[in-house]
Structure 1
Amino acid sequence: MPLPFSRRQLGLSLLATGAMGRAALAQGQAYPSRPIRLIVPFSPGGGVDATGRIVAEHLGAALGQTVVVENRAGAGGAIGVDAMAKSPPDGYTIAIVSPGNMTVGPVVRPTPYDALALGFVTRVVLSPLLLVCRKGLAAQDLAGFIDLLKRQPDAIRFASGGVGTGTHLAGELLNLRLGVRMTHVPYRGTAPALTDLIAGNVDIFFSDTSAWPMVQQDQLRLLAISSMARWAQAPQVPPVGSLVADFDIANWYGIVAPPGTPAPILARLHAEIAKLLALPAVIEPLARLGFEPGPLPPAEFAAFVRAETATWTTVVRAADIKAD
């Protein structure tokens, strides 16, 4: 779940994947010989869609083939991922995924695919969740909020984008780590949660980076970020983990392929994506979305997903979260 990914680490990732990319080429010179389909399991316009289109454009140029983006929304991203998982394992159908359909959603409600059995290509980007509060809350900073929370846990109402979402589980993880019980108020997505937070109807929310403009406009107060690594947009803001033990989570997107996709193809795709994530033409639009590059080789990405799944399984069981 950690966010840190320095330029030095990015360089090491590129070096490590160079050999894999060469091996992939040696074993499959013909790949790719036709367009590749990138399934975005959400509607157009969101962060996953925007990131997928940035990757598709530059990956297509690198591979010499068109990467066609196909939006297949529904069931919290499960419909699109399932369509990808049932496609031939030949590297011509891949998907961009997020915690909601890989590590959070599958531990809350059954999915028609086994997330841990997919072909792992690479993690693409990372960003922290933003712990934001209403302006009238009697806490000016993270320390003040934790003190308030320990004294009046039942009085704190934490919003989420819905039962079993990452924003819900982030709040439950804070409950678990501090041994308290805030009152959960679920919404149907991030936008209505932020609207009610600004109105003062709830107290805090672990939002994605879409809350940042509202912080800048002084509509909300940013107390902390969810990852231990400082966020480039607000480097002075402390991580929750600076005062709460074992709290280090991030939002992320990654690329996966159908189960059984040959390792050389996974390696080739990872190598090309890792290279494009070092380009200013890619870094800059991702930064505007609040993301930083965070590529991982296939085996490391798979291990990352397994570790996140274990963490969220523990939280779901401890909080007795049931699917709607």
Structure 2
Amino acid sequence: MQRRQLMQWGAAVLAAPAVAAHAQAFPSKPIRLLVAFPAGGPTDITMRVLAEQAGRVLGQPVVVENKPGAGGTLPAQMLQSAAPDGYTVAQIPLGVFRLPYTTKINWDPVKDIRYVINVTGYAFGVVVPADSPLKTWSHFVAWAKANPGKLSYGSTGTLTSPHLTMELAAQQLGMELLHVPYKGSADLMQAILSGQLMAAADSTGFAPQVEAGKLRVLNTWGAERLAKFPDAPTLRELGLDVVQNSPFGLGAPRGTPDAVVQRLHAAFKEAMDHESYRSALARYDMLPIYMGPEQYARFAQETFAREKALVEKLGLGRGS
């Protein structure tokens, strides 16, 4: 018995350096970063800059793969079948925490994702074509009330933050709107510029079109007005107790070793501090929003509970 214990102890001692060496060797090949929205939008553009800088820190490329659709939840779903080795990480938009309340899934967004780091959040708002008769949010609300179900607005997907926030505003103001979902900001901007929609609720990927005089901002959704659009009131200023900035970050598959999570976290945290990333965020009025693994996991748990209440309040859950 004593001899067996000694052998087991010896094996454990020999294995420990091997485990440490494996952690130190990570990564030894490129890492996939699954992004929840299409190429060309603010999420894609900012995440590519972040990935490039993180790859330099890690010594291996971080390769962005766009996986749009399903309200931004496809990357999180893909983590469920990915190896827990750190070579697949995914963007986790807020919509992931609503998924079980709206769709039947066999995994848990809190327990079945290793939360690595939160990196930023969105600046949102509502825009209309520059030649729209809806000159202000007051005009928008009045027209919608006079024409129930006819004021069309687009978002970046069903049950995304733009969709739910608009529906919350509509509920509070007694409006009935016509929602049209798109896969991402690029598609949504094409639709409103071509006259297919009366309005769009989106992150500030609409900024270039506003600056070009093609679109007009009716409101923004942060706690304060955006410096880029100082004339656009916040929802709070318009009488709605709503602030939405939809933080998002990166997750890895459940079971990813702690040492690997910490290595990824350290690399992406360093990348967040790079001037190129902060400049990319500034183009869309986005700000760095940092949370480490433990804080991000707590945020996931709290958001999961809060989003359940919102989905139920709006009557958008399964069976509603």
Of all paired residues, the percent bearing the same amino acid is 24
Q: Cα distance, 1:80 vs. partner? A: 3.5
- Cα deviations across residues 226-253 of structure 1 (Å, max 9, x unaligned)? 1214434334533212333431112443
Asked if 1:226 corresponds to 2:240, the answer is no
Which letter does structure 1 place at the counterpart of 2:33?
I
Asked if 1:238 corresponds to 2:233, the answer is yes
Q: Which residue of 2 aligns with 1:171?
A: 166
Match of 2:255 among 260, 263, 266: 260
Match of 2:52 among 46, 53, 57: 57
The SS at the match of 1:103 is helix
Q: How many residues align?
A: 296
Are the aligned partners of 1:134 and 1:197 in contact in 2 as well (CA < 8 Å)? yes
Instruction: For 1:308 and 1:174, locate their aligned partners in 2 and report how far apart those are by CA, in whole Å.
Output: 20
Are the aligned partners of 1:157 and 1:184 in contact in 2 as well (CA < 8 Å)? yes
Q: Which residue of 2 aligns with 1:84?
A: 79
Residues 274-289 of structure 1 aligned to structure 2 (within 5 Å):
274-289=269-284
The SS at the match of 1:303 is helix
Asked if 1:159 corresponds to 2:146, the answer is no
Instruction: For 1:149 and 1:266, locate their aligned partners in 2 and report how far apart those are by CA, in whole Å.
Output: 51
Are the aligned partners of 1:286 and 1:292 in contact in 2 as well (CA < 8 Å)? yes
Which letter does structure 1 place at the counterpart of 2:154?
S
Q: Which residue of 2 aligns with 1:115?
A: 109
Q: Which residue of 2 aligns with 1:271?
A: 266
Q: Cα distance, 1:30 vs. partner? A: 1.3
Asked if 1:185 corresponds to 2:179, the answer is yes
Cα separation, partners in 2 of 1:191 and 1:153, compared to 1, 3 Å? farther
Residues 1-324 of structure 1 aligned to structure 2 (within 5 Å):
30=24, 32-42=26-36, 43-72=38-67, 75-100=70-95, 102-111=96-105, 113-117=107-111, 118-135=113-130, 140-142=135-137, 144-145=138-139, 148=142, 152=146, 154=148, 157-161=151-155, 162-176=157-171, 178-189=172-183, 190=185, 193-194=188-189, 197-198=192-193, 202-321=197-316
Instruction: For 1:250 and 1:270, locate their aligned partners in 2 and report how far apart those are by CA, in whole Å.
Output: 22
Instruction: For 1:175 and 1:36, locate their aligned partners in 2 and report how far apart those are by CA, in whole Å.
Output: 45
Unaligned ranges ≥5, structure 1? 1-25
- How high is the TM-score relative to the length of structure 2? 0.75
Which letter does structure 1 place at the counterpart of 2:32?
L
Are the aligned partners of 1:124 and 1:295 in contact in 2 as well (CA < 8 Å)? yes
Instruction: For 1:200 and 1:49, locate their aligned partners in 2 and report how far apart those are by CA, in whole Å.
Output: 25
Cα separation, partners in 2 of 1:239 and 1:274, compared to 1, 3 Å? farther
Which letter does structure 1 place at the counterpart of 2:313?
A
Are the aligned partners of 2:125 and 2:221 in contact in 1 as well (CA < 8 Å)? yes
Which letter does structure 2 place at the counterpart of 1:186?
V
| Aligned Cα root-mean-square deviation (Å) | 3.5
Are the aligned partners of 2:166 and 2:201 in contact in 1 as well (CA < 8 Å)? yes
Cα separation, partners in 2 of 1:309 and 1:179, compared to 1, 3 Å? farther
Structure of larger gyration radius: 2
Unaligned ranges ≥5, structure 2? 1-19
- Cα deviations across residues 54-87 of structure 1 (Å, max 9, x unaligned)? 2222112112333344445564554433332333
Which deviates more, 277-286 or 189-198? 189-198
The SS at the match of 1:53 is helix
- Cα deviations across residues 168-192 of structure 1 (Å, max 9, x unaligned)? 212112124x241322232434556
